[in-house]
Copies of this chain bind each other. A is one copy, B any other.
Amino acid sequence: MYRHGLTPDPKPTVNDIARVAGVSLATVDRVLNARPGVRSVTIERVNKAVAELGFVRDAAAASLARRRFLNLLFILPKTSNEFVKALEHQVAEQGIKLLHDRVTLDQHLVPPFDPAAIVKALDDLQAGLVDGVAVFGPDTDAVKEAVHRTRARGIPVVALVADLSDSACDFFVGINNVTAGRTAAELMAGFIGRRGRVLVITGSRLARDHLERRKGFEALMTECHPDIQVVASPEGRDDPDLICKMLPELFEQYPDIRGIYSSAAGNLGLIEHLSTSTPCPKPIVIAHELTPSSREALTSGIFDAIISQDAGHLVRSAVRLLKATSDQSPIDQTQEQIRIDIYLKENMPSL
């Protein structure tokens, strides 16, 4: 089983395949790269030799010989949202490293909640200049149609963070937000002793991911915790100020709130309110996405838990999937599954 470059038993090459299969190098190449003009019997012969010798195409040599870059584009909403910022940062950072691997990453920031901008961005893509796209955008028909056109032009598309329904894309990279909401609910229920009133702060109606979280949260409470009452805030629109302003009257209306679930991107407003006027007893607060400010809120005890998804993992996974689609190489499903991370004060990763 030991193997070394200077010893015999080297990894078989295409030449070995040709020899064993009794065909020429050209034919092996045609088979390996799924080029036309080979009889199926011959294809079989080559595949058999491949299996026999345990041939694995050398990724380095292949990528070198292919003499091309894989140019990937990330379409992200242009917002000050910390989580999106983290995504941008990851795209930029990993783009640098991926240069080593003949992959380039670009990002295109479009106005948020603006399907038309995404449609335009997708339709403006030139096949040949862009080999794959990752899109974080609203799940509207216009967007889905644009995705469809893009894929029809041979450019693979993955949905990032927010899924596009009806499998409009080649892949979805992100968490199941219904499950994320259920997870928050399970944690909340455990922390508040399975009874009492909890407040859900919702985000924009346009964001499918936020709606799903809320739905999951409420569903689990209904299913498993009849002694917990869920009340929902008016739509927060992901606007910190708006949220900060409407909280006092909510607390007045429901003085017995034992838990708060911030399902959307309004963490900043929530933090601001709670850090100035803490209700007594302090409610259990669960929010989404580990960012600089939510991290601080967790450290200082304003937040009790954070449900999160790793931005680095999201970006890496999107890249791997787009790359695999281009190379027609296999995919490791387990590695591509984005975890729903739970962070408490203690297990928060450093940095």
Contacts and interface: CB of A to CB of B under 8 A. Distances in A.
Interface stretch (A36-44, A99-107, A133-141, A160-168): A99-107
Nearest to A187: B344
A21 interface: no
Given A99-B11, A190-B190, A106 B1 contact: yes
A193 B333 CA distance: 38
A4 interface: yes
Contacts of A343: 342
Interface residues of A, number: 63
Interface string A49-70: 0000000111111111001110
A67 to B, nearest CB: 6
B340 A347 contact: yes
Contact of A179 (B59, B220, B335, B347): B347
A135 to B, nearest CB: 18
Interface in A97-150: 97, 99-102, 104, 106, 128-130
B128 A4 contact: yes
A351 interface: yes
A237 interface: no
A221 B58 CA distance: 53
Contacts of A190: 190-191, 284, 304, 344
Contacts of A71: 2-4
15 contacts: A2-B71, A2-B104, A2-B130, A4-B71, A11-B99, A59-B100, A60-B60, A61-B64, A183-B346, A190-B284, A190-B304, A316-B335, A341-B341, A342-B342, A342-B344
